[in-house]
């Protein structure tokens, strides 16, 4: 018997009913998209008009059900080049109007086929604008997507959503990070060695460093200070990653060991939250987070505004209007989101360390913030301006 053509499979799935049930009882009815079945996670929305392949494969989305606000998704299909990690991590995918036929010179297969192959349950045909407004008003919350020919009644589905774990307090880095160290070689002449602690690293991050002559030693999430210094690094990096930064006690202690040794240090996203905690600041959960590729951020050390890629549901609680005294010397908020004044970057003034809450690797997203990788290089090169004021 020959297997049905992908188009036939897709048309069959489109006839399968699906329902999305939020933990506050609101529900949306649509059709199955990707795998048929059920899934649970934290409902969040992403405002990117493009870059769904990078979003789906970003390990920071582990355990999150991502709602795309752009109405048409899947138009450019799926390729074997743009993955940010080894698999799709989102717990579920929510779209309004999926492409029936992808069209792009790099596309190898349709998005819904890839979702189905990787077992990712999605829903299509729902009012994603109404859902996004609901999440903005009520905040990110738990959700379930259920699809199949015979769905249970909504009250029963809701009680299952309420049993799913919350994102607050979730310790997830070790579930996504590499278990074995590996090396991303420098492109061209090698200038520096960096130990990069993988908390859910995106592939483009070591790539952006390699392009600048850095040999990147990617290390598991539970690496110790000794593991880091065993690679004899010129700089240390802490990556993005899923879950609640309040759970990352081990990584905070390791980073404090790096700060004590005054090795040049750079952190992105989860890495920024860990630097915040290492300096003695707290972290908190945002109401609905920042996810997309069009977020305005001001670099307060230069005054410049950049349009940036974000994916964070937590943030650092640090004073915006003063330099703080920390156990590692003076520190300040270097970057701030112009939409809501959320802390988007930290900079130590007496230790060569800095971090940003957003994504200078820009996968996907604008390249405005690529200069941050150059700042890291300057720190490792011992540029005096970089060491004392990092660009002010």
Ligand X SMILES: NC(=O)CC[C@H](N)C(=O)O
* Site residues, ligand X (CB under 6 A): 60, 240-243, 269-270, 311-314
Give the nearest distance from C-beta 169 to ligand X in angstroms.
12
**Torsion angle (degrees, nearest 10) of CA 152, 157, 163, 168:** 150
Instruction: Establish whether 376 is an annotated binding residue.
Output: no
Give the nearest distance from C-beta 136 to ligand X in angstroms.
17
Residue 70, CA distances (Å) to 49, 128, 292 in order: 5, 8, 10
Separation CA 85–CA 204 (nearest Å):
9
Instruction: Establish whether 60 is an annotated binding residue.
Output: yes
Q: Please count the helices (runs of H) and the strands (runs of E) in the chain.
A: 12, 20
Separation CA 251–CA 196 (nearest Å):
12
By beta-carbon proximity to ligand X, the closer residue of 332 and 357 is 357
Instruction: Establish whether 28 is an annotated binding residue.
Output: no
- Which residue is listed with tokens 């890291």? 376
Instruction: Establish whether 241 is an annotated binding residue.
Output: yes
Query: Which member of 84, 113, 114, 361 is catalytic?
Result: 361
Separation CA 389–CA 268 (nearest Å):
19
Instruction: Establish whether 243 is an annotated binding residue.
Output: yes
Separation CA 235–CA 253 (nearest Å):
17
By beta-carbon proximity to ligand X, the closer residue of 102 and 313 is 313
Separation CA 355–CA 269 (nearest Å):
8
Separation CA 351–CA 259 (nearest Å):
7
Give the nearest distance from C-beta 199 to ligand X in angstroms.
7
Separation CA 38–CA 250 (nearest Å):
34
Integer distance in angstroms from the first to the last C-alpha of the chain? 69
Instruction: Establish whether 237 is an annotated binding residue.
Output: no
Residue 361 known to be catalytic: yes
Query: Which member of 42, 217, 269, 312 is catalytic?
Result: 269
Instruction: Establish whether 294 is an annotated binding residue.
Output: no
- Cβ within 8 Å of residue 116, ≥6 positions away: 9, 13, 34, 35, 36
By beta-carbon proximity to ligand X, the closer residue of 110 and 241 is 241
User: What DSSP element (H or E) covers 124?
Assistant: strand 121-124
By beta-carbon proximity to ligand X, the closer residue of 94 and 172 is 172
By beta-carbon proximity to ligand X, the closer residue of 74 and 242 is 242
Catalytic residues: 269, 359, 361
Which residues make up each annotated binding site for L-glutamine? 60, 241, 243, 270, 273, 311, 313-314
Which residues make up each annotated binding site? 60, 241, 243, 270, 273, 311, 313-314
């Amino acid at each position: 018997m020959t297997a049905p053509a992908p188009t036939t499979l897709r048309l069959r799935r489109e006839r399968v009913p699906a329902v999305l049930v939020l933990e506050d009882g609101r529900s949306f009815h649509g059709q199955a998209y990707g795998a048929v079945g059920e899934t649970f996670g934290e409902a969040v929305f992403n405002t990117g008009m493009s870059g769904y392949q990078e979003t789906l494969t970003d390990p920071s989305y582990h355990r999150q059900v991502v709602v795309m606000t752009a109405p048409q998704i899947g138009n450019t299909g799926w390729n074997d080049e743009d993955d940010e990690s080894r698999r799709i991590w989102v717990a579920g995918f929510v779209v309004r109007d999926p492409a029936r036929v992808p069209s792009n010179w790099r596309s190898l297969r349709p998005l819904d086929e890839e979702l189905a192959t990787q077992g990712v349950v999605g829903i299509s045909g729902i009012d994603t604008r109404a859902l996004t407004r609901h999440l903005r008003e009520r905040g990110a919350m738990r959700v379930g997507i259920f699809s199949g020919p015979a769905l249970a009644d909504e009250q029963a589905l809701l009680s299952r959503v309420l049993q799913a774990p919350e994102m607050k307090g979730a310790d997830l880095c070790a579930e996504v990070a590499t278990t074995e160290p590996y090396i991303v070689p420098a492109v061209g002449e090698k200038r520096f060695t960096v130990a990069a602690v993988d908390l859910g690293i995106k592939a483009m991050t070591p790539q952006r460093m390699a392009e600048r002559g850095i040999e990147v030693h990617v290390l598991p999430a539970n690496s110790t200070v000794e593991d880091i210094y065993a690679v004899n690094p010129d700089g240390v990096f802490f990556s993005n990653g899923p879950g609640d930064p309040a759970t990352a006690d081990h990584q905070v202690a390791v980073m404090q060991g790096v700060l004590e040794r005054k090795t040049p240090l750079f952190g992105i996203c989860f890495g920024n939250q860990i630097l915040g905690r290492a300096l003695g600041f707290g972290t908190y959960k945002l109401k609905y987070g920042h996810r997309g590729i069009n977020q305005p951020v001001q670099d307060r050390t230069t005054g410049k505004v950049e349009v940036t890629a974000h994916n964070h549901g937590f943030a650092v609680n640090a004073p915006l209007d003063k330099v703080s005294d920390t156990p590692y010397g003076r520190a300040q908020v270097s970057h701030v989101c112009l939409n809501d004044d959320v802390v988007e970057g930290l900079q130590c003034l007496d230790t060569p360390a800095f971090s940003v809450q957003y994504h200078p690797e820009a996968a996907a997203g604008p390249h405005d913030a690529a200069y941050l990788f150059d700042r890291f290089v300057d720190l490792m090169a011992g540029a005096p301006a970089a060491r004392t004021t990092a660009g002010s």
